[in-house]
Amino acid sequence: MDQFDLAIIGAGPAGMAAAQEAAGHGLRVVLLDEQARPGGQIYRDVDRAGSLRGDILGSDYTDGRRLTAGLRHDGIRHVTGAVVWAIEEGFRISYTREGRAAQLAADRVLIATGALERPMPLPGWTLPGVMTAGAGQILLKQSGVLARRAVLVGSGPLLYLIAAQMVRAGTPPQAMVETQTTADLLRAMRHLGGALRGWPYMLKGLKLLAEIVRARVPRHTGAVGIKVEGDGRAEAVRFTSRGRSQRIACDTVFLHHGVVPNTQAARSLGVAHRWNADQTCFAPVLDRWGGTDVTGIFIAGDGGGIGGAKAAEIAGKIAALRIAELAERLTEVERDGHAVPLRAALDRELAARPFLDAAYPPCAEALSPEDKTVICRCEEVTAGKIREQARLGCLGPNQAKAYGRAGMGPCQGRYCGLTVTALLAEANGRTPDETGYYRIRPPLKPVTLGELAAMEETPLDKAEKEITT
């Protein structure tokens, strides 16, 4: 089994920056990523797509080439197409690549698995034709595929970015159905100081909005009662905005109301997580270097709390400095010296975040869906079932999982976990922290039994089974 000083899971901005920083200090680094080419979701396939459609995607995207270029370093082994399904003590990492299971060992692990779209369970969200806004962006970035007749639903800056990109590509969305209200914006004003410090972000946002307005994309704000209608596939979005009930026909619906940390890998290792009320999600408890309560496990980027691509890049470097120091490639003084400008930059990057979190809060009706709405896409469990399970004594999602299968499917709760916690917390009058989250176990992603069996070293002795069945 190959041994490394540092294994990094995820080749997005945090993972790429950390790999470069750590290798620069002499560490032997392995960077494992599921995709065939580096970039993560934010810079997905940037080396290829950047030159093809950089004009549509903008310089914030093509900027990712700076990071992918940094991976060309002798100290970095970038394993592409590697689906990590177990991280165990030691650390022993099991992954699948090209249909085969493989393993490697590392002294320390940096989890840089980024964010997931916040689940947005609205009526009709499981219909074909309904996708996350992130999916819409990935289609455009990686494949140059655009929805001809799309409605964008939800809230948050990403919604404006994808709308502007669609405008630039010549296929503007039919409409934007936005859930945030003027009251949200007013509430966000108390964070205006931060917003002003983070003025480049605000300016970018205003430019995107101007592009959308110029293209005459209809915007409906404060939308409620949202549902996707269709017989076997998405055909229209129905909602009420400013007291008026509307129905907009479309072929594609892109949903988005923020992104949340992808905590699967960290949770599988037992890393402590805490509820972040400002971002309405769980985030791992980290020290100022991205260290967790599990010795040797670090987290950087959106997986540690939502901060965006630039913040992720800086956090990746900061974590790498600490890891290099622990590996005795840097002294504490050197580490701290390198970290000073990074921390200042990180503060600037995060300055606008409180304003954005408050101005674009998650869609309330998706946080507490109506009883009939499916909340677990894999096992097709409804919100009403979870509430019923609370009445049968479910204090937390693991008992609910046992009672009704929510979270048992192949996505392992990625798109229902936060909803189940929220529903149970609400029903039981407890906090999300008291309610807890799914116990995440390997395999983090499905793996064939054949692959697993091929890793078996000793033949089986079946006789010992018979004692205790």
Partner 1 sequence: METEFAIIGGGVVGLSVAWGLLKRGRTVAVLDGDDGSFRASRGNFGLVWVQSKGMNQPRYAQWSQQSAAIWAEFAAELGENTGQTVPLQQNGGYDLHFSEETLQATVEKYERLKAQLGGDYPFEVLGHNALRKEEPHIGPKVVGAILHHQDGHANPLKLLLALAADVRRMGGRVLTGKTVTDVDRPDGFRISCADGTTIEAGKVILSAGLGAAQLGPKMGFKAPIRPQRGQVLITEKLPKLINRPSLIARQVDEGGIQIGATNEEVGLDDRVTQPGLSRLASEAIAAYPALAKAQLVRSWGALRVLSPDGLPIYQQSPDMPGAFLVTCHSGITLAAAHARLLPDWLEGTDAAPDLEVFGESRFAVS
Partner 2 sequence: MNPASPFLELEQGPRVSVTFDGAQLELPEGANLAAALLAAGVDVLRHTPVSGAPRGPFCMMGACFDCLVEIGGVVRQACMVEVSAGMDIAKPRGDADGPV
Query: What gap in Å lies between CA 299 and CA 305, rounded to an integer?
Result: 10
Nearer to partner 1, 74 or 464 (CB): 464
Nearer to partner 1, 49 or 400 (CB): 400
Cα–Cα distances in Å, from 117 out to 12, 70, 255, 452, 462?
16, 28, 9, 30, 45
Chain positions contacting partner 1, by CB under 8 A? 86, 88, 92, 94, 103, 392-399, 402-405, 408-410, 412, 435-436, 439, 441-443, 446-450, 452-457, 460, 462-469
Single residue of 65, 368, 445, 452 touching partner 2 by CB under 8 A: 445
Shortest reach from residue 148's CB to partner 2, in Å: 5
Q: Is 52 in the site for partner 2 (CB under 8 A)?
A: yes
Question: Phi-psi category of 98—alpha, beta or left, where left has phi over 0 and alpha has psi -120 to 50?
Answer: left
Tokens (6 digits) for 184: 């949200």
Nearer to partner 1, 146 or 395 (CB): 395
* Nearby residues of 382 by Cβ (< 8 Å), 6 or more positions away: 371, 372, 373, 374, 375
Nearer to partner 1, 362 or 397 (CB): 397
Single residue of 53, 92, 97, 439 touching partner 2 by CB under 8 A: 53
User: Using CB distances below 5 to 8 A depending on partner kind, what does residue 402 bind out of partner 2, partner 1, none?
Assistant: partner 1
Burial category of 36 from C-beta neighbours within 10 Å (exposed 0-12, middle 13-18, buried 19 and up)? exposed
User: Using CB distances below 5 to 8 A depending on partner kind, what does residue 94 bind out of partner 2, partner 1, none?
Assistant: partner 1
The secondary structure of residue 375, as a DSSP letter, is E
Give which of 361, 227, 420, 321 is closest to 21, Cα–Cα: 321
Q: Which range of residues in 141-149, 151-159, 268-276, 321-329 is near partner 2 by CB under 8 A?
A: 141-149
What DSSP string runs through 408-433?
A: -STTTTTTTHHHHHHHHHHHHT--HH
CB 90 within 8 A of CB 105: yes
Cα–Cα distances in Å, from 84 out to 75, 95, 111, 265, 315?
21, 4, 11, 9, 22
Q: Is 452 in the site for partner 2 (CB under 8 A)?
A: no
Q: Is 302 in the site for partner 2 (CB under 8 A)?
A: no
Give which of 295, 300, 363, 257 is closest to 108, Cα–Cα: 295
User: Using CB distances below 5 to 8 A depending on partner kind, what does residue 464 bind out of partner 2, partner 1, none?
Assistant: partner 1
Site string for partner 2, 384-423 (x = CB under 8 A): -------------------------xxx--xx--------
User: Using CB distances below 5 to 8 A depending on partner kind, what does residue 178 bind out of partner 1, partner 2, none?
Assistant: none
Residues in contact with partner 2 by CB under 8 A are 34, 36, 41, 52-53, 83, 99, 116-117, 126-132, 134-135, 138-139, 142-149, 169, 171, 232-233, 251-252, 262, 377-380, 409-411, 414-415, 445-446, 448
